């Protein structure tokens, strides 16, 4: 008996539609399938009426409401299930997809080839410089800014990242090469480090060191230095090395001849970090060079 | 006919005892390290009779729940001023309060609350204002004051005067489970049943103006999408196609609804024009495409697809008609929801075999896990983008939990009894009396 009742209540909206055309259903909208008699007494507001086996919707005052059906319901009932795509259409779609994927694979193959060539060139470049021996030690002047801005790992940041047990030793070893003034080796070591731990806790510091190191190589590689600092700023804009990287990036632009851009950047460093030592460096640089 | 009536009566009797609303209880599990200490002095009641609610207590709990505030306990207060001239800042410095909120509540059918927020250290007024409501909406009035205090002190719009939708499931021994689609305040108070059913209710969602909701109900023996007017409860069954009818998602302008249908073969994304009832098919792929959600500008959709072999998030651009992949990290990323800023996307992310809630920054492409349990699902983001509400399990029981987008604050919202799942945080609500 209960089942019959619930079936009646539940299915009223659905079963009825098999026999109703679209127009008449539209005109019925609003009062079509009454699921239950509306009741809005005080009691219902406090505790909605217990429900029968079916489904009942309530308004905010606990009143029982009605359910209507959209025109789509008839469409879906009357229309013979639309053709999910004959075999021909499916094959066509697959062919299209294969073409698209083929194009993608070709593009990616090209990109990989380009990357391979670039990394080989970079390696050869470093190799050549190693063979030539960059024995000329940078002057005190050149090395000073990086001493004043030793990479300090922000302890809070380090906490959030799961530090690989081997990451810190690798980073420290690379840094030791800088301290030992083996700058060419240090460049290789930091690049290896970044390949191994691209998202490591020390990755920002490694980017920073690379930026500095490319400047003290003989000859300096301004473009790679610029890329390193820019990468650090793009990936870790809030990192504690960001102010210094901003300043260094400005000086690199200056060295590359983009004097206007360097000036705007230096001014923005002063404006953004007014209370940090880097602001003083920027002011001094502006005073000396402009 | 007579027996019919009898059975109805019997049903009413059997259910009136057993049906309890699944009310949520809040358990705060983690706050940020250095919360702002705020004292909320009890609001003076200047109307007649008994005060309708403890307004100060509601405000204080709202602020506490955000994780960013530590309220001063009432028993530690050395005075309970409600007017400017009664404040002794020394008293509040002694209990380390940084801010003090005082207020007065008066009125009859319409309640009026005047409040003022002071900086205890500087001994200055931060903001003062007035909120009004009908007597039955005194909780809303309190939440609005909490919103204004929160906005004044954090610079972020408050989202306390918002609502939650969730599905409460009560097992009934020897029978089918009992499902209630429930509406509650953002603090879990005032639960109201919007739909009661003996068949599953899934994927509740809000219209952008917060006046309507949509969901999937199995009441017609197969999944069907319904929309329901919140105020009247009147509803319209939108779809009943062969196969899957799921994951409704209203467009930001309220004119269209994205959904998943499998009427043409396997599950694909469709967009329904709510005026003309014209369906537009968005994806045509032999993979499963599901869980669409709109970007706030309405120009693109995010959805989950298993076209790369495992579920990942993709983005469909309505302007170009192109689809591109959004997530690469992790073997499983699904059920995306976008914050109003269009930048943070919360999703279910699988990492080391555990399903966690994670937030993806679309600009930096950084993915950060927010939760540490292993079966977290259905994330929903607050309209101010500060908190993520999600479903999880606690001791094998389905509960709701919330975490701030920075991972700093957490709280759980278990039901008093039964299970709760499928939460949906409302947009900002229209201002009501």
> pLDDT: is A122 or A53 the higher one?
A122
Task: Look at residue B3 and tell me if it is in a domain.
Answer: no
Query: Nearest CB to B265: which of A14, A64, A85?
Result: A85
Strand partners, B246: B260
DSSP assignment of A56-107, as one string?
EEB-TTS-B--EEE-HHHHHHHHS-------HHHHHHHHHHHHHHHHHHHHH
Do the Cβ atoms of B240 and A76 come within 8 Å? yes
pLDDT tens digits along B236-251: 999 989 889 999 999 9
Q: Is residue B162 predicted with pLDDT exceeding 90?
A: yes
Tell me the residue range of the domain where B335 lies: 163-425
A235 to chain B: closest CA residue? B364
Do the Cβ atoms of B217 and A55 come within 8 Å? yes
Q: Which residues contact A152 (CB under 8 A, 6 or more apart)?
A: A240
Using a CB–CB cut-off of 8 Å, the residues of A that contact B are 1-2, 5-6, 10-11, 13-14, 48-60, 62-73, 76-77, 81-85, 93-94, 97, 235
> Residue ranges per domain, chain A?
2-78, 83-132, 134-289
B229 to chain A: closest CA residue? A59
Do the Cβ atoms of B277 and A72 come within 8 Å? yes
Q: State residue A10's pLDDT score.
A: 37
Give the closest-approach CA distance of B220 to chain A in angstroms.
6
Do the Cβ atoms of A70 and B238 come within 8 Å? yes
Q: Is residue B135 predicted with pLDDT exceeding 60?
A: yes
Instruction: Let me know whether B263 and B186 are in one domain.
Output: yes
pLDDT tens digits along A27-57: 444 333 333 333 334 443 444 445 456 789 9
Q: State residue B25's pLDDT score.
A: 76
Average pLDDT for B156-169? 94
Query: Could you give the ipTM of this predicted complex?
Result: 0.78
Instruction: Let me know whether B384 and B268 are in one domain.
Output: yes
Q: Is residue B385 predicted with pLDDT exceeding 80?
A: yes
Query: Nearest CB to A50: which of B16, B229, B232?
Result: B16
Which CATH architecture fits A134-289?
Answer: Alpha Horseshoe (1.25)
Q: Is residue B208 predicted with pLDDT exceeding 70?
A: yes
Predicted confidence band of residue A168 (pLDDT cuts 50, 70, 90)? confident
Domain boundary among B122, B154, B186: B154
Q: Are B177 and B419 in contact (CB under 8 A)?
A: no
Q: State residue A76's pLDDT score.
A: 56
Instruction: Let me know whether B280 and B416 are in one domain.
Output: yes
Q: Is residue A172 predicted with pLDDT exceeding 70?
A: yes
Give the closest-approach CA distance of B88 to chain A in angstroms.
36
Q: State residue A106's pLDDT score.
A: 83
Query: Nearest CB to B7: which of A2, A73, A83?
Result: A2
Q: Is residue B365 predicted with pLDDT exceeding 90?
A: no
Q: Is residue A3 predicted with pLDDT exceeding 50?
A: no
CATH code of the domain covering residue B259: 2.120.10.30
Task: Look at residue B81 and tell me if it is in a domain.
Answer: yes
Q: State residue B19's pLDDT score.
A: 40
Instruction: Let me know whether B167 and B148 are in one domain.
Output: no
Do the Cβ atoms of B8 and A5 come within 8 Å? yes
Q: Is residue A20 predicted with pLDDT exceeding 70?
A: no
Task: Look at residue B432 and tell me if it is in a domain.
Answer: no
Predicted confidence band of residue B431 (pLDDT cuts 50, 70, 90)? confident
Average pLDDT for B279-300? 92
Q: Is residue A142 predicted with pLDDT exceeding 60?
A: no
pTM for the model stands at: 0.65
Residue B322's alpha-carbon distances to B162, B273, B298, B328, in angstroms, are 35, 20, 15, 18
Q: State residue B329's pLDDT score.
A: 84
The region of weakest confidence among A58-72, B16-30, B253-267 is: B16-30
> pLDDT: is B161 or A201 the higher one?
B161
Instruction: Let me know whether B227 and B103 are in one domain.
Output: no
Residue A23's alpha-carbon distances to A2, A27, A28, A67, in angstroms, are 34, 6, 9, 18
Q: Which residues contact B276 (CB under 8 A, 6 or more apart)?
A: none
Average pLDDT for B230-234? 94
Q: What is the dihedral of CA A187, A189, A193, A195, to 10 degrees?
A: 70
Instruction: Let me know whether B269 and B330 are in one domain.
Output: yes
Predicted confidence band of residue A77 (pLDDT cuts 50, 70, 90)? low
Across chain A, mean pLDDT equals 71
Selected residue of B212, B233, B365 to mutate for chain A interface (largest A Cβ count, 10 A): B233
Query: Nearest CB to B236: which of A68, A83, A85?
Result: A68
The region of weakest confidence among A15-29, B121-135, B327-341, B398-412 is: A15-29
The region of weakest confidence among A84-98, B13-27, B132-146 is: B13-27
Do the Cβ atoms of B220 and A11 come within 8 Å? yes
The region of weakest confidence among A84-93, A140-149, A235-244, B422-431 is: A140-149
Task: Look at residue B313 and tell me if it is in a domain.
Answer: yes
Number of cross-chain residue pairs from A and B with Cβ atoms under 8 Å apart:
134
Instruction: Let me know whether B237 and B256 are in one domain.
Output: yes
The region of weakest confidence among A260-274, B2-16, B357-371 is: B2-16
Distance between CA atoms of A257 and A262, rounded to whole angstroms?
9
Pairing outcome for strands B69-71 and B36-40: parallel
Q: Is residue B336 predicted with pLDDT exceeding 60?
A: yes
Give the closest-approach CA distance of B172 to chain A in angstroms.
12
Task: Work out how many domains chain B is built from and give that number.
Answer: 2
Q: State residue B2's pLDDT score.
A: 42
Q: Is residue A280 predicted with pLDDT exceeding 90?
A: no
Q: If we measure between CA atoms, which residue out of A265, A82, A112 comes closest to residue B242? A: A82
Do the Cβ atoms of B198 and A6 come within 8 Å? yes
Predicted confidence band of residue A132 (pLDDT cuts 50, 70, 90)? low
Q: Which residues contact A254 (CB under 8 A, 6 or more apart)?
A: A262, A285, A289
Task: Look at residue B203 and tell me if it is in a domain.
Answer: yes
Query: Nearest CB to B8: which of A52, A56, A83?
Result: A52
Q: Are A226 and A246 in contact (CB under 8 A)?
A: no
CATH code of the domain covering residue B32: 3.40.50.10070
Average pLDDT for A238-257? 88
Task: Look at residue B205 and tell me if it is in a domain.
Answer: yes
Q: Is residue B277 predicted with pLDDT exceeding 90?
A: yes
Instruction: Let me know whether B137 and B254 are in one domain.
Output: no
B218 to chain A: closest CA residue? A55
Task: Look at residue B287 and tell me if it is in a domain.
Answer: yes
Task: Look at residue B254 and tell me if it is in a domain.
Answer: yes
Q: State residue B11's pLDDT score.
A: 39
Instruction: Let me know whether B298 and B229 are in one domain.
Output: yes
Instruction: Let me know whether B310 and B398 are in one domain.
Output: yes
Average pLDDT for B73-77? 93
Instruction: Let me know whether B173 and B149 are in one domain.
Output: no
Instruction: Let me know whether B176 and B94 are in one domain.
Output: no
The region of weakest confidence among A81-90, A247-256, B382-391 is: A81-90
Across chain B, mean pLDDT equals 89
């Amino acid at each position: 008996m209960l089942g019959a009742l619930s079936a009646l209540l539940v299915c009223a909206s659905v079963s009825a539609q098999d026999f109703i055309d679209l127009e008449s259903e539209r005109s019925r909208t609003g009062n079509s399938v009454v699921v239950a008699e509306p009741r809005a007494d005080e009691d219902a507001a406090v505790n909605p009426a217990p429900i029968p086996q079916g489904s009942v919707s309530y308004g905010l005052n606990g009143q029982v409401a009605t359910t209507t059906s959209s025109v789509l319901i008839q469409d879906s009932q009357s229309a013979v299930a639309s053709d999910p795509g004959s075999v021909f259409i499916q094959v066509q779609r697959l062919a299209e997809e294969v073409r698209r994927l083929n194009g993608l694979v070709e593009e990616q193959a090209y990109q990989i080839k380009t990357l391979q060539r670039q990394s080989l060139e970079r390696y050869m470049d470093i190799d050549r410089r190693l063979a030539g021996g960059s024995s000329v030690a940078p002057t005190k002047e050149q090395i000073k800014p990086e001493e004043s801005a030793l990479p300090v790992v922000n302890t809070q940041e380090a906490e959030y990242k799961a530090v690989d047990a081997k990451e810190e030793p690798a980073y420290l070893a690379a840094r030791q090469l800088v301290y030992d003034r083996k700058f060419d080796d240090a460049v290789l070591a930091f690049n290896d480090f970044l390949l191994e731990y691209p998202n490591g806790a020390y990755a920002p510091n490694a980017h920073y060191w690379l930026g500095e190191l490319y400047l003290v190589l003989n000859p300096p590689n301004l473009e790679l230095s610029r890329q390193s600092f820019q990468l650090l700023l793009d990936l870790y804009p809030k990192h504690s090395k960001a102010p210094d990287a901003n300043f260094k990036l400005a000086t690199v632009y200056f060295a590359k001849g983009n004097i206007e851009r360097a000036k705007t950047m230096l001014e923005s460093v002063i404006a953004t970090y007014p209370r940090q030592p880097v602001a003083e460096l920027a002011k001094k640089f502006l005073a000396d060079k402009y | 006919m007579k027996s019919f009536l009898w059975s109805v009566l019997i049903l009413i009797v059997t259910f009136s005892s057993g049906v309890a609303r699944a009310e949520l209880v809040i358990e705060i599990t983690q706050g940020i390290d250095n919360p702002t200490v705020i004292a909320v002095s009890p609001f003076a009641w200047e109307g007649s009779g008994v005060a309708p609610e403890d307004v100060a207590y509601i405000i204080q709990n709202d602020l506490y729940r955000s994780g960013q505030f530590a309220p001063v306990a009432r028993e530690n207060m050395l005075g309970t001023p409600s007017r400017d001239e009664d404040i002794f800042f020394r008293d509040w410095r002694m209990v380390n309060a940084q801010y003090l909120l005082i207020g007065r509540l008066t009125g009859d059918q319409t309640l009026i609350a005047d409040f003022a927020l002071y900086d205890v250290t500087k001994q200055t007024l931060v903001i003062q204002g007035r909120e009004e409501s009908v007597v039955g909406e005194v909780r809303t009035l309190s939440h609005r004051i909490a919103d204004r205090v929160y906005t004044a002190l954090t610079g972020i719009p408050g989202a306390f005067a918002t609502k939650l939708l969730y599905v409460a499931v009560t097992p009934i021994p020897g029978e089918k489970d009992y499902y209630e689609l429930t509406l509650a305040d953002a603090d879990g108070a005032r639960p109201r049943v919007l739909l009661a059913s003996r068949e599953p209710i899934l994927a509740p969602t809000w219209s952008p103006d917060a006046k309507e909701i949509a969901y999937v109900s199995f009441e017609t023996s197969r999944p069907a999408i319904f929309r329901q007017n919140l105020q009247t409860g009147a509803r319209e069954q939108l779809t009943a196609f062969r196969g899957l009818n799921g994951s409704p998602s209203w467009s930001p302008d309220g004119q269209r609804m994205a959904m998943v249908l499998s009427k043409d073969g396997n599950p694909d994304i469709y967009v329904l024009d709510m005026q003309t009832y014209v369906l537009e098919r968005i994806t045509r792929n032999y993979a499963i495409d599901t869980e669409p959600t709109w970007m706030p500008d309405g120009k693109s959709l995010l959805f989950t697809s298993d076209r790369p072999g495992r579920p990942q998030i993709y983005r469909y651009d309505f302007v170009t008609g192109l689809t591109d992949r959004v997530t690469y990290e992790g073997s499983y990323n699904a059920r995306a929801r976008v914050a109003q800023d269009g930048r943070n996307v919360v999703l279910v992310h699988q990492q080391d075999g555990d399903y966690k809630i994670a937030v993806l920054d679309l600009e930096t492409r950084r993915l950060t896990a927010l939760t540490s349990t292993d079966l977290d699902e259905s994330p929903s983001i607050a309209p101010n983008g500060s908190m993520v509400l999600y479903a999880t399990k606690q001791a094998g029981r389905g509960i709701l939990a919330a975490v701030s987008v920075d991972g700093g604050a957490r709280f759980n919202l278990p039901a008093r009894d039964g299970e709760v799942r499928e939460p949906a945080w409302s947009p900002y609500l229209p201002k009501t009396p």
